[in-house]
Structure 1
């Protein structure tokens, strides 16, 4: 299996209107994105699949990722609902299939071998995890036959996930950052804005370029002109002073923090 080539991606959480979702995905791919992220939980896999089909970009040039809902993590449910996800997406395989949250029906010893089975059956090329703590990540690495290809977590300039970034290096997987703009709060952050202004960038492009330079794969949500603007981050070469200034920002709070998340136990 070739290694997973992850570039800045389009996050689709919150793209609830089917027509808007389809148009956004198609426009993002035509603009240059090659990584699209969805999930059973988002209830938009069918619209995402239509966007992929409507784009002029060849399917094999796109990394398509989806995630299994935490209610569907019993082994037979993993196998059944992953196939249902493929049906909705209109694909015979995804490039990356995640455990969305290690909660509710998740049981590492039972759940993870089902992901190995799906990989062995050719329904996913790679296995990923999302919202894992360091201890759960180490446990998953021990249980899975497949290497963990990616770990998806909240990550942005005010929540930099240094420990999980170090573990990504240790385990040789990609850290994928959702909410890379802190659910929009980074856009109104005066310290981020000052760094961005010194470098003639928007706060969004600064935050995304910082992530890419630090080995994080950001998957911002965007619509309209913001789709193209965010993609500019891949072309930005931030000077060391800007990177250091972002690194030195005081840490903030999680923006996505459900009560039953693994880190709250």
Structure 2
């Protein structure tokens, strides 16, 4: 991958240094890092710089991340079947987890955007953060090889790896409740009941109650019915996680 030989200005150099500190890795070729930090909107608005955006690196980083996490899960959990390993890996390498990892190292403040994307919150968008995180993993791989990439990936993703193993890395709480119900067929089923829609249509809040049998277990709120259902399901799922091991019905 050929990169521009342009000299980094002080602000860009500081951004690179900040990322390197968070990664505990120093790049031999900082242009790889700069490409990883560059959104396509910046390249479009600064064509005279002949910069590269991070989309190709994102493609490679996805593969590097998947291999490192898959290998760690395989080596460290020899009793888990293929299906469970796949679900764990999917939870760790998905966009919400990568966005959390990027936010934890303040990556958004180091990214380069065009004016429009920057003004519309580009530095906080989960998709931009996730893509940049994958691009950085690829940049480390290209710069230092697989051992360096493996070390950086495991360092950055370790908290979420551990959450996945303990069952705490959950984003689809409705599906988790469905799986819980399938494992406990003796218990009443779960059902969602929309109860309120507050505010005008263009700026409303939905309220949904979650029942198990005839018992109302939680009330969720959100900008859509789906968000409200997930909010209610999350409350119940957390209650179930804290319940005794025999999985008694949540109150």
- The TM-score by the shorter chain falls in which range? under 0.3
Q: Quick check: which one's helix share is greater? A: 2
Q: Quick check: which one's strand share is greater? A: 1
Tell me which structure has the larger Cα radius of gyration.
Answer: 2
TM-score computed with the length of structure 2 as normaliser = 0.22
TM-score computed with the length of structure 1 as normaliser = 0.21
